[in-house]
Structure 1
């Protein structure tokens, strides 16, 4: 944060604080691990459910890369670069990310020896009423090795009833095309295509 030395309370989305001077943030992250499915081959479903392919399948579940074949271990590399700035109620954020799977250990042949995905997210927001009402738009696009290229667009409003980040009311519309995310919690199911409407509230302690 080389300009103002901060990026708002908790570094949160939106220029709630309405910076008079340009506030900036730059970030770089990288992780490498020798990953494991955390379950015996006799189990079709892996206990490691965090790593998913671009179609939403668990990477370590049987059949994810080839029928009847299970990936037992793999190298997992992931990195990201982000830049953002805030000024006078406006917030711009841009992120680039990549991940690379390699050195598979499998119990049968698979059609690829490695996988590389990369993509980005861009978001823009503006405070319409100081410390009360915020509007935002964002979009994410993933370039994957299988050329499914899932993406989404989000438009939303944040309302702060007590003029504090501690309590927020939110309404948003998300349009998803071939969702790569899949979860029992949240909005996304693998392969989902279409609109999602949500209304929610957050309380921060």
Structure 2
């Protein structure tokens, strides 16, 4: 063969197999690429399904927790057991409600009713919650002056202002033993700066012996009416009551109290305290005896519950007809020195139905003063919630007697009665609520009343943030102080707009 022909044949023998291999490699690469794309698509689909399952699980757990705390406890215990099996770390402490799943990088979780769980391990739990709001208040619709039933005339200092109204910070949980509970709080109202008890630091300690018996000691609200029986802040109004409730109720004091569940849907709370209202009163002003007793018993016959804190309004939308009936009774021996100042924060003053303080100098204009008096007050209440609608009512009867006086007064006792009624409807579920309220007091020195019309708007479809707008009409209000929108002697309209954060 010629050398050129040999070279050609050798080159062909070397080049053709290489081309075949290259073609084979391209085909394999294309096949692998298709398989890889298919696997990635499958993984994306599985990830989407997994996220969907997790969201559904969290939704169902929240629904179960809301409907049945007992079922929620079982879910939490099951989750703790699964976590312990998968890891050597200690299982989380069993909770009444399952914690929301934390996002990556979070140091805690948010649980409705607790706030943010900052720390939780085998030694204890620390939860932080807050209540605050900004209020615009316009009282220009009130009369400038007021004359009481004895002819005394006073001038009202009408307000038209914007205030960062109140701040309450709560630190709560348990320590060493889940049954040993603590609550510590800081509480102030900017409208009360300079008044007695303008800043309150308080709290209480307790031990949960049994569902039927829990014992606490410290500062707490006397269960004198429904609004002082731990329903706050789940009210229709924001951070104030009707004038009848305000007139008859007790307030916060130091003492010891017990609460518990006597049967399905039947609960109680009973308290022994220092006086009707200790905020703004120092220990030297107290009479040194436990002269205040207060108790409440309530029954929820149809569903065994009445929403968070047995509060007002059916934001939670009961599909079953929920009902509540309650009775309250309070007795307290009060003296002039042990009463808070007239502008005392969350004060509870003993007044006649025209607003006259019974412990003021010469209250009846007969030359006599009252130095001591016995307060007794009974209240009954009832209400229902159904599919976003609610109706709540409460009636009051109060007796003041056993007076210790200096100089003459024209009466041996004073008796007053009254009532309140509040109704609401969720116009848009989870978003917009409308309400109306009316209350009246019947006494020997006047029959004052109030009317309220308002709306609550929840921009995030959550209870923790709302815009409250209210029109309030007052006729001879016998109560009032700087941290509420009404004044003693107020006649006319007041308007409030509040942005409220409560978690």
Whether TM-score is above 0.5 comes out as yes
CA distance in 2, matches of 1:70, 1:189: 24
**Which residue of structure 1 aligns with residue 364 of structure 2?**
65
Q: Quick check: 1:66–1:111 contact (8 Å CA) kept in 2? A: no
Distance 1:130 1:58, change over 3 A: same
Q: Indicate the SS of the match to 1:38.
A: helix
Task: State the match for 1:56 in structure 2.
Answer: 355
Q: 1:49 to 1:91 in 2, by over 3 A?
A: closer
Sort the Cα spacing of 1:15 and 1:49 in 2 relative to 1 into closer, same or farther, 3 A.
closer
> Equivalents in 2 of 1:118, 1:83: separation in Å?
17
Q: Pick the aligned partner of 1:23 from 318, 322, 339.
A: 322
Partner of 2:213: none
Task: Choose the corresponding residue for 1:149, options 434, 439, 447.
Answer: 447
Asked if 1:204 is matched to 2:489, the reply is no
Residues 434 and 456 of structure 2 are in contact (CA less than 8 Å); yes or no, is this contact kept in structure 1?
yes
C-alpha separation between the residues in 2 aligned to 1:25 and 1:167? 26
**Higher RCO (C-alpha under 8 Å, 6+ residues apart):** 1
Q: Which structure dedicates a bigger proportion of its chain to helix?
A: 2
Higher strand share: 1
**Structure 2 CA distance for aligned equivalents of residues 53 and 201 of structure 1:** 34
Aligned residue for 2:371, secondary structure, equals strand
Aligned length: 198
Q: Which moved more, 1:62-71 or 1:133-142?
A: 62-71
Q: 1:103 & 1:12 partners in 2: Cα distance? A: 35
Gapped runs of 5+ residues in structure 1? 40-44
Q: Is residue 478 of structure 2 the alignment partner of residue 185 of structure 1?
A: no
Aligned equivalents of 1:64 and 1:169: distance in 2? 41
Residues 137 and 73 (structure 1), Cα distance of their counterparts in 2 relative to 1, 3 Å cut: same
Query: Are residue 77 (structure 1) and residue 376 (structure 2) matched?
Result: yes
What aligned pairs does 1:45-194 form with structure 2 within 5 A after superposition? 50-146=349-445, 148-194=446-492
Cα deviation digits, residues 134-190 of structure 1 (max 9, x gap)? 0001100111122x1000110000011222221121000011000011212211111
Residue 345 of structure 2 is aligned to residue 38 of structure 1 = no
Alignment partners' CA distance in 1, 2:366 and 2:494: 32
CA distance in 2, matches of 1:72, 1:37: 5
Is the contact between residue 66 and residue 109 of structure 1 (CA under 8 Å) also seen in structure 2?
A: no
Distance 1:149 1:106 in 2: 26
TM-score using structure 1 length: 0.91
Corresponding residue for residue 230 of structure 2? none
CA displacement 1:30-49 (0-9 Å, x = unmatched): 0111111116xxxxx9x986
TM-score by length of 2: 0.38
* CA RMSD of superposed structures (Å): 1.7
| Structure with larger Rg | 2
Deviation at 1:67, TM superposition (A): 4.5
CA contact (8 A) 2:366 2:410 kept: no
Alignment partners' CA distance in 2, 1:4 and 1:160: 26
Gaps of 5+ in 2: 1-299
Taking a change above 3 Å as real, the CA distance of residues 152 and 49 of structure 1, as seen in their structure-2 partners, is closer
| Contact preservation (8 Å) 1:176, 1:192 | yes
Structure 1 pair 105–6 and aligned structure 2 pair: CA distance change class (3 A): same
